[in-house]
Amino acid sequence: MNFQQLRIIRETVRRAFNLTEVANALFTSQSGVSKHIKDLEDELGVELFMRKGKRLLGLTEPGKELVVMVERMLLDAANIKRLAEQYSNRDQGRLTVVTTHTQARYALPKVVTAFKRAFPKVHLKLHQGSPDEIVHMLLDGEADIGVATEALADVPELASFPYYAWHHSVIVPEGHALQAVSPLTLEAVAEHPIITYHEGFTGRARIDKAFSTVGLVPDVVMSALDADVIKTYVELGLGVGIVAAMAFAPGRDGKLIQLDSSHLFPENITRIAVRRGHYLRGFAYRFIELCSPELTESRIVNSLVPSRAADVA
């Protein structure tokens, strides 16, 4: 048994048993992948995969148990390497933070600036993705820290922590009819075409729920991944915008008006997440603490034990 065989087992499950994709991901040949799997099965004396001819269909019962052990072994192997790096190069290395556009653009700039001043030799990789991509990168060990509003609280393998609370905000061009509506109502907003986020991004589900709760179906004529695009088309007069409140700045968005609308939509909580059992370098804890001083290293460490399935509120 060797680490390459273990990596192949893990990647085969991740790639839905497509050995061509496994080979591409691990920079080897499909025949080499098949041989490693067969050699391991011969060594263990059990079949790990269900087959139809040469095609893999799924895991056998021993295969399912083995995959859990393989994930733990490869995670521990990566942790050993990170542990050595922590003591040999305490203030050097790589930190990968995966987040959505909204968080990268509006919530994290001050944190990133302070972090780079404190750790100039750490290569900080800020990767933008969807909430589902963020979860997958954390689980696959491709990212150390995830920041998002959706998805992070629902995965037992992740420990997630509240970062900050926020509301959605209605924005319109100067002179729009909604400026005269006080207090603003969802009924008044629903009389106009709406431009807001794609489904699954930046609290979109809560926007939809707010309208449906009062029996309204808004006319969403455009949706986008980030607030900058939404604001561009609102400014062109194509609709009323609904964006995260922190995405609007009066000085920067001078041709648009932000209406008092926090009472219309429920509160959203952006969360910070790390994988349970994943060893974090000291500077990773510092990054999280820069986001929220309450998220100390000791609090996070206590949450990372894999057997603790409960989320940290």
| Same domain assignment for residues 24 and 37 | yes
| Same domain assignment for residues 50 and 99 | no
pLDDT at 113: 97
3 state SS for 134-201: HHHHHHCCCCCEEEECCCHHHCCCEEEEEEEEECEEEEEECCCHHHHCCCCCHHHHCCCCEEEECCCC
Residue 310 lies in a domain: no
Q: Which domain holds residue 293?
A: 92-164+274-303
> Mean pLDDT per segment of 10 residues, for the chain of length 313 residues?
85 87 87 86 86 87 86 77 67 90 93 96 94 92 93 91 95 95 96 95 92 95 93 95 93 90 93 90 94 93 61 47
Residue 125 lies in a domain: yes
Residue 243 lies in a domain: yes
Residue 311 lies in a domain: no
Residue 18 lies in a domain: yes
pLDDT at 138: 94
pLDDT at 10: 85
Q: How many domains does the chain have?
A: 3
Residues 6+ apart with CB under 8 A from 231: 171, 241, 243, 247, 248, 253, 256
Half-sphere exposure of 149 (CA within 13 A, CB side): 24
| Same domain assignment for residues 73 and 133 | no
CATH code where residue 159 lies? 3.40.190.10
CATH code where residue 76 lies? 1.10.10.10
| Same domain assignment for residues 140 and 285 | yes
| Same domain assignment for residues 154 and 234 | no
